[in-house]
Structure 1
Amino acid sequence: MTRTGSAPSFGALLRDLAADPVAVGEVVGAARAHSPEVARLPPAEVHRQVVLLLTSGLGALERREDPGERDFTEARRLGADRAAQGVSVAGLLCGVQGGRDRAVELVVRHGRAAGIPDEVLLEGLLTIGRYAAAVERAVVDGHRAAERELAATGAPARARLLRRLLLGGPAGVPPAELARFGLRPDGRYHCLVAEQPDPVRAHALHRQFAGCGGVLGTVEDRLAGLTPRLPAAGPVDLLVVVAPVRPLDRTPAMYALCAAALRTAAHRRLRGLHLVTDLAVPTALAAQPALAELLRGVLLGGLDPADEFHRELATTALAWLDHGQRLDQTAAGLHVHPNTVRYRLRRLRELTGGPPVEEGARCPVPETVRWWWALRTWLDRP
């Protein structure tokens, strides 16, 4: 913002800053930099709240409202949302105050550059200060009210129950405690484990599975839970692994399988909801890294991981196995001609001795698994 003609009003200055994506980005960055808890939230979520509070404050300033008479519903909702997302009131205030301080710096810098007299800037900043203090009080009120509601619904007790069930099983857990959270001793449940999402997505996932009668909480730094049924549409931007329904006494075993499958799926950069049975083969193979290393050395010792052509050969062979050893389907999947696939497979056979690539030839199942495992782990290496 530069000096052009007569100086703009203080209100016009604020409108320009609130509409300036660079200025708003600086306020968002300051809020996240001053609070590690706020920094765990998606930047878009912090940006949305900053814009909301800025435009709301601008409206109050232009209408010359007394902060004591202002309706701070949005600020209270912000506090309540952050409480539900696990952000402490101290962490929240650090973010709010960091953003406020950066906004004041921007107002002073741009106001002076635009030629607004210091006394006008001072009067406007005092008004903003009174509004900001009222906003902070409303944020804290909303946060504390939400904390009381969460405590009343037994969120900490729910997390403790889940840790007990998933790690040790239902033995010794009173039926009344299970019933408190909608579980039955004779019930059958899906065990689910998810990569630890940001607080906003975690809260959304809690609501989604709660609608199915599920119970979710943090177990060993993962989001995990039990649910009698799955939602019609699972999350698409988050990795969740689910076991088939089993009695409660099978919960620890299901949790261990889901946790192992989650690590494998995360390594493969999968997203969405996956059944642990669909991940059975890669999960079982991933549990034997020493054997995988031996297999790579024996079957693929003739390949150089630094050679791009060799990596192209291995990628093609893996796609060939994934497509049922069909040249036409492999070619379609790789967007190349079938003759290209045939040539690459023959070159791989010349370098390594396998797998067989004659027209119509098929690897026996054990041989397919050996080559698939060797190729998959060879390509996964840095």
Structure 2
Amino acid sequence: MAPEQDTFAAEVAAAMRAQLPAVAERTVAAIVVEVPSYTEAFAGPMGRRIEYAVQLALGGFLELAAAPGGVDPSRPIGPALEEAFKLGRGEARSGRSIDALLGAYRVGARVAWRHMSETAVAAGMPAGSLARFAELVFAYIDQLSAASASGHADHLDSSGRLRRRNLERLAGLLLTGAPPYDLASAAERADWAPPRTLTAVLLPESRVRGALAVLDGRTLQAGEDLPGAEPGAERTVLLVPDADGYVRTQLVRALSGREAVVGPARPWQQARSSYSRALRALQLDLRPDGDLPVDTELRLTDLVLRADGEALGDLRAQLLAPLDGLSPGPREKLVETLRSWLLHHGRREKVAAELFVHPQTVRYRMGQLRELYGDRLEDPQCVLGLTLALGAVER
């Protein structure tokens, strides 16, 4: 073995080292042809720098391979691996995929091995040493590939975590109503292009992943401890860009079956207003219509009438006091009739159709109500109060 190693070190290594510039040039040329992602990147001065880098990497390998005893392919090659790790991070920053980089390694290894082995044979390398040399070359490339893949993943992971934190911080600032300057700075830091509007969507944590899959990719997700929410509510808020007009219909449909509450669309820096509306609807326990989410734009009356539950209760008790002497059954029927009469502007046929009774029954009940209320049913203020008091009856 020793003579073979010495022959490699003394003669073959020198011959291959002399060919390194040509091998590096051919390697880069092959990568440009076979890996399209690098066609433009390797053009001009960049291509020459890459050729030089390849030449240095191959030269470093030759020094290791020609060392006494050869090189153990299982032993880490510190400096080379560190550079390969940096290369992987740089490729991730450039937006190229790891597949492109590993493809370049494969092409480079094949081309470099072909030309270097030809040189080695011409320089007299024995067959046994050539096989060992092939093992070392491809073990070296495998280690470089693994190090670059690790660097690529590390950059994506660390930059992804940082961007997620910045996006969550932006969402938090929006929900707390931070000043416009702070919001603009946070959006720039998060690399997030502000839309025209944002719409707050509240939904259970267990439904978030499925919802994000069907929403605009710019959608923001707030972190834990939502402002104004009750502790342990286990709800998440999403801020959906540009979901106004016709797009809102699509948004509501996409959220079907997800127990969502959808706030109004607001200019993006006023997203807190949308969140407050959605949170209020949730706290009032407004019920959805079937599988569709609670659309606050369709429940404005309920939100207004139930904004102060205690005041509404007092108003109802005050204006329905003339019915207090009745037993529960008759009282409920008269309240039901009075509500329908108010909402249908006294049109008896409409009231009868809604209550599934004969028009004469409506006439009889309204006669009872007029006896109890007297002229107050002709007073606009009383009619307004009764409409508000009875308009918020649970659906």
Task: State the TM-score, normalizing by the size of structure 2.
Answer: 0.45
**Larger Rg belongs to:** 2
